[in-house]
Every structure is written in C-alpha cells, then in structure tokens.
Amino acid sequence: MIGISILGSTGSIGLNTLDVIARNRGRFRVVALTANSSDERLAEQCIEWQPEFAVMADADAAERLQRRLHNTESSTIVLAGTEGLEQVAALPQVGYVMAAIVGAAGLLPTLAAARAGKRVLLANKEALVMSGQLLIDAVHEHGGELLPIDSEHNAIFQAMPPPGAAGLDQAGVRRILLTGSGGPFRTRPLESFHEISPAEACAHPNWKMGRKISVDSATMMNKGLELIEACWLFATGPERIEVLIHPQSVIHSMVEYSDGSVLAQLGNPDMRTPIAHALAWPERIDAGVAALDLVKIAGLSFEAPDTERFPCLRLGFEAARAGGTASVHLNAANEIAVDAFLNGKLSFTDIPRVIEHTLEAHTMVPVQDLDTVLAADHAARATAATCIAELS
C-alpha cells in the first residue's frame, strides 16, 4: 500500500481525500494527518485512521490533541509546528503528500515534500504562486511528481499531452481556457457590493469550500491565483491563458490545439474527482461521485469576465505579467485582506483596494531563493495591515 500524509486533513480537501481513500482502502495507508487548530476533529480522525503521526500547527492545540488521545487506544505520535509539518511531509514511508493547507502556511511543508521526492498532490495553490520556479525545480531535481488538485488545473492536466512531452508549441497547444463559475455575485448589482457580508461571500452556488477559498471565489482572486499557478504548472505565460465564466461548473477547463480541436474535462462539481485522479494516476479509481447527467443539465453557457466587477482578477493578470515577487505580494495582501473581511474589519469592496495598494507599494524583484520569498511575504503583509488600519 502507498503511504500518504494529508496536510490539512480537517479541511474540505482533507475530508474529501479521506473519503476517497475509504473507498479504496486496499491501495493507500494513512501515515500522517495534520491540522491547524481543530484538535477535536483531528482526534476523531486519529482514532478512526490510526496514523503514525498527527501534527497540529498550533502548539497549544497539539497539547490538547495529546490529552484527547491519551485515554484512547491510539498510538499516534503528536508533533507540532512547521517543523512537524515538514517532518511528516518527508517521511520515508510516505509516497504521496496531499498538500491541502490553506495559504502561505503550506509553502514550507510542500517544499519539504518536493525535496523528499514525493508525489505532491497540490491543493495548496499558494505554495506554487509564491515559490514558482523554486517548487518546480525541487520536484525535478529530486525525482518527485507534482499533480494538480484544483479542479481547473486537474482538468487541464487531463486534456494536455502526456507529461514529458515537448513544450506547448511543439505539442500543438494554442491556448488554455481556464473556467470559473463567477461565484455568488456574478449577477448581483455592482452598486450593492459594499454591502456584501462574509456569510454571503461564503455561500458559493456550486462548490463546498472553506471560508477563505470561498471569499477568493467571490472576488475571483481565486481565478487570479489559478492563472499564476497554471503558468508554472504548464510552463506558459498569461498571454496563452484565457479565463471564461462558466456558471454551471460542469466543464472544469479546456485546452485548445492548433488544429482547432478543444479538449475539455467535464464532471459534477465534486472535488473527489480530481483527488481520485491524482491519487491513482495514471489509473482510475472509484471516487464516489455521481454520474454526470447531461440531459438534466440541458445547457452550458460561457461569458467573458467583467474586471470592473472583479478587479482581483485583473490584479492576478498584472502580477502574472510582472513576475518576480509580484505574485508573493499579491497572495500575502489577499490573505490579510480576506482575513480582515471575514472578521468584520474590512468591506468586501476594500479587498481589491488593499491588494492594489500593496502591489503599488513594493518593487518587484526576481525570486532567487526561499529567503527572497519569505521577505517579500513579510513586507507585503505589513503593508496590507497598515492599509487596512487606515481604511478602518
């Protein structure tokens, strides 16, 4: 059986991963589970799955988890902090690492998995958005694999030529069509955007996701980050990627070829599909996903994104074109702004204002090493926090 560490096992991706594994118990063995601070839920997972290790990013939560497991039959070893996350990402008995920690917190353990030559199932887009070539190089240098879990990138991966084929031009790829639902506010009057509440922003019409990712979908920053991620995953520039609004979330993305063919991956909006694909690739396994009923769906529609309605998408394209640390600044400012919005300290329409201000305040430099990334991330967070304080 293949050993797997699930980084972020109590979040939506982690839960869906465990669901797929439960349907295929003879193939995978859960070696490590991790969470940020949800010690009660992680304790329940440890009792059910009996992993060798459990890691809490928060040290206090790790102590609570240790106490919860003390009077059970669990033999799970509890670790804490970033060091613990990096340790379980690189364990010799682990073949696959599900990188599903939300935000910049997932960068270091994802890099650790890549440097240990693991198959990295990348659900944490921020790690690639921030580290770019560093992560790609680590995968190649250490003989690992990087398989995308985002439904859009997984769809592109499935529609692309086989891995290891020549570049896009030689493979006859003309462009990548990156789809997005448009979120909950695709048709909402623009003049009412300043009234949007966190609860409204988290109510995605098609997908069940965590709060931060749901807000990113509502602002379409999620698509801006995915654009940057796609550039790195498929070795191309933003000029070869087009974003399309597709409200039904049935076509998860497409690849257009020079002969006019367009290959699309279709499926119900269920994250278990890309998770199962990446776990078993190049084989296929049961994911528990209902069959797609095209007759019931009846129609599929597309429209161009409105960057006045979704300025975060424009900022994503600008950061992709700028290169260097621009994407680090973009991601850091977005994380700070979204957190402030979710905690009632910032309006929905102020999120792009904070991000744009942060991008304008910093000079972009080439990403040469991890220290450059971490310094840019720290500086951008400080700038964004100052901007939020001024807007409050």
**Tens digit of each residue's pLDDT (9 = 90 or more) over 118-165:** 999 999 888 999 999 999 999 999 999 999 999 999 999 999 987 655
Its pTM stands at 0.94
**Tens digit of each residue's pLDDT (9 = 90 or more) over 319-354:** 999 999 999 999 999 999 999 999 999 999 999 999
CA–CA gap between residue 95 and residue 79 (Å, rounded): 20
Averaged pLDDT for residues 231-241: 95
Domain boundaries, the chain: 2-148, 157-270+291-391
Domains 2-148 and 157-270+291-391 share a fold: no
**Tens digit of each residue's pLDDT (9 = 90 or more) over 87-126:** 999 999 999 999 999 888 899 999 999 999 999 999 988 8
**Tens digit of each residue's pLDDT (9 = 90 or more) over 181-224:** 998 899 999 999 999 999 999 987 776 777 888 999 999 999 99
Alpha helices in the chain (DSSP H): 12-22, 39-49, 59-70, 81-89, 107-115, 125-131, 133-141, 151-159, 198-201, 211-219, 221-233, 272-280, 294-297, 311-322, 326-342, 350-361, 370-391
Q: What is the pLDDT of residue 207?
A: 67
Q: What is the pLDDT of residue 65?
A: 96
Q: What is the pLDDT of residue 274?
A: 98
Cis peptide before 305 (omega within 30 of 0): no
Q: DSSP letter at 151?
A: H
Spell out the residues 6+ positions from residue 72 whose beta carbon is closer than 8 angstroms to its own: 43, 47
- Report the candidate in 253, 274, 276 with the shortest Cα–Cα distance to residue 264: 253
| 303-309 own/partner pairs: CB under 8 Å, 24+ apart | 303/182, 303/244, 303/245, 304/244, 304/245, 305/180, 305/182, 305/220, 305/223, 305/243, 305/244, 305/245, 308/190, 309/185, 309/186, 309/190, 309/193
In this structure, are residues 196 and 352 in contact, taking their beta carbons and an 8 Å threshold?
Answer: no
pLDDT band at residue 277 under the 50/70/90 scheme:
very high
Q: Which amino acid is at 97?
A: V
Reduced DSSP (H G I as helix, E B as strand, rest coil) percent helix, strand, coil of the chain, to 5: 50, 15, 35
Averaged pLDDT for residues 65-91: 94
The CATH number fitting domain 2-148, selected from 3.30.830.10, 3.30.360.10, 3.40.50.720, 1.10.760.10: 3.40.50.720
Averaged pLDDT for residues 32-60: 96
pLDDT, the chain, mean = 94
- The architecture that CATH gives domain 157-270+291-391 is Orthogonal Bundle (1.10)
Q: Does the pLDDT at position 167 exceed 80?
A: no
Q: Distance between the two ends of the chain, CA-based, in angstroms?
A: 53
